[in-house]
Amino acid sequence: MPASQDLHPTSSTAENGNVQREKRLNALRTSIAELESQAEQLESQIASVKSQLKLIALRDDPAVTVQRHIRLLHDYNEIKDIGQGLMGLIADARGMRQIDVQKEFGVGDRD
């Protein structure tokens, strides 16, 4: 081999190096684009989950839960009073004690 070839790479070697470099750069650009797309998808998922958590927090707000329980207890007590009143009317009509009518209908002492 002549000495000039040893000191200076041939143009084809330089071109091969440039081609390899371009391939690596293109692969890196593709990888970066995929990662950016994945990051956008994850950010969208995070926003969706945060939105769902806010809805759950509003639904499970302690003050709202307490108010709901109070309303349900009030409704229950009204229905219970009506039921006891009806059993009282049945007991009077039959000439029985109310406790006996309750037992007949399967209503316990604590109901």
* Whole-model pTM over 0.85: no
The tokens for 94 are: 């039959």
- Asked if pLDDT for residue 76 goes beyond 80, the answer is yes
How does pLDDT run across 39-63, given as a tens digit for each residue? Answer: 999 999 999 999 998 888 777 788 8
CA distances 62 to 49, 66, 72, Å, are 21, 6, 15
The tokens for 55 are: 């809805």
CA distances 81 to 18, 45, 48, 53, Å, are 91, 51, 47, 40
| Rounded-to-integer distance, Cα 76 and Cα 8, Å | 97
The tokens for 61 are: 């707000």
